[in-house]
């Protein structure tokens, strides 16, 4: 439930979600939209591509106890995530449709007068913080408090794990929003009002496996034990584990939750754009906090050559792993979708502004 009397999204035992049909004309209009896009005989390339950006639609459903109650049966976009972080952003310069009464227009404009200028509104977010193993939630009042000057920081809160800014998620989100923008730039048959983008990403941090290739352990230049190249002292903990040494002298080290200390060592390095020769892969695995033995590596090597290499990797981990970031961006809420013969300039404006804000978060 949300509010005192409104039913929220229900979860069906089969893994779908159920959204109760709104009263006419909004509910039937949204149902008609889904029916049109997901028509089995649909051969319109614009609508077929649109399916990629929506939750999958499985028709309507009514509970046996209340056959007159109708629900839209939709894909649960959060289902595959362990700790889903979720943000709902209303897109467009107008949150009222062309047939709205003057009273309705005034009501909507008064809720967020900056909608026309900013082009989007954060309706709510739920962010998992690794550091406290808890969720932070923000409702629509939070979004309405954001101004042109504070909207960047307001949205960046969604991408913060409690330890660090998830730049990998920001980068993946930009790519997905850009795909939706491409679709809007190429279609003139539908205009969307009071519709949203749903952002979902994995909030929990699996152990990260770093593959160190082309690292010469016999390198002459050694960094003294516990000291990194920037002159900062590394606080050792037992969260770096040697898994094994592989062929060609490659080493795999698994890094657990103690990464936060590593990330925090010197933030100034985050702005450097140098690239190490290290490739990364992310694995979901639980490791105990024990140094694993290896015939080819000693702690002296770790203190000497490998840790500075790890340091380079950690500073750039978000950029290097953005391809593997598990992120969903889907369009939702279609009670105010209307046929058109022009581009949806209001929605396009909102998407472009949102991309600009996300890019600023990524760059800064």
Average pLDDT of adjacent 10-residue blocks, the chain of 364 residues: 75 94 96 98 98 98 93 97 98 96 96 97 97 96 98 98 96 98 98 98 68 39 42 38 42 43 42 38 38 37 45 43 75 98 98 98 94
pLDDT in the model for residue 325: 78
pLDDT in the model for residue 194: 97
Helices (H), the chain: 26-37, 45-50, 102-111, 115-118, 140-144, 151-156, 167-185, 259-263, 299-301, 307-320, 345-363
Residue closest to 94 by CA, chosen among 111, 76, 84, 109: 109
Classified as helix, coil or strand, 114 is coil
pLDDT in the model for residue 3: 66
Classified as helix, coil or strand, 200 is strand
pLDDT in the model for residue 364: 87
CA separation for the pair 265, 278 (Å, rounded): 20
Enumerate residues 6+ apart whose C-beta is below 8 A from 99: none
Q: What is the pTM of this model?
A: 0.70
pLDDT in the model for residue 8: 84
Residue for token pair 């077929």: 48
């Amino acid at each position: 439930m949300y509010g005192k009397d409104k039913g929220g999204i229900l979860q069906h035992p089969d893994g779908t979600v159920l959204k109760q049909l709104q009263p006419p004309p909004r509910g039937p209009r949204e149902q008609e939209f889904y029916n049109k896009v997901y028509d089995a005989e649909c051969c319109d390339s614009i609508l077929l591509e649109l399916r990629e950006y929506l939750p999958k639609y499985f028709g309507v459903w009514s509970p046996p106890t209340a056959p007159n109650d109708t629900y839209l049966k939709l894909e649960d976009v959060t289902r595959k995530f362990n700790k889903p972080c979720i943000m709902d952003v209303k897109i467009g310069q107008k949150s009222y449709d062309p047939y709205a009464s003057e009273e309705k227009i005034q009501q909507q404009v008064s809720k967020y007068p900056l909608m026309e200028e900013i082009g989007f509104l954060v309706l709510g977010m739920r962010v998992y913080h690794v550091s406290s193993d808890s969720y932070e939630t923000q409702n629509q009042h939070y979004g309405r408090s954001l101004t042109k000057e504070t909207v960047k920081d307001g949205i960046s809160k969604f991408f913060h794990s409690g330890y660090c800014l998830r730049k990998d998620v920001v980068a993946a989100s930009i790519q997905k929003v850009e795909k939706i923008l491409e679709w809007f730039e190429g279609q003139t048959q539908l205009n969307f009002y009071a519709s949203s983008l749903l952002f979902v990403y994995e909030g929990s941090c699996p152990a990260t496996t770093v593959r160190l290739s082309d690292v010469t352990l016999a390198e002459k230049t050694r960094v003294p034990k516990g000291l990194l190249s920037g002159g900062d002292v590394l606080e050792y903990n037992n969260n770096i584990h040697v898994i094994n040494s592989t062929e060609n002298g490659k080493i795999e080290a698994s890094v657990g939750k103690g990464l936060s200390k590593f990330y925090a060592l010197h933030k100034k390095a985050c702005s450097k754009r140098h690239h190490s020769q290290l490739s990364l892969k992310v694995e979901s695995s639980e490791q105990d906090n024990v140094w694993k033995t290896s015939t080819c590596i000693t702690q002296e090597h770790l203190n000497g050559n490998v840790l500075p290499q790890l340091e380079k990797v950690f500073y750039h981990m978000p950029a290097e792993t953005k391809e593997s970031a598990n992120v969903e961006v889907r369009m939702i809420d279609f009670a105010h979708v209307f046929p058109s013969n022009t581009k949806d300039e209001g929605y396009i404006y909102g998407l472009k502004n949102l991309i600009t804000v996300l890019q600023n978060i990524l760059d800064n």
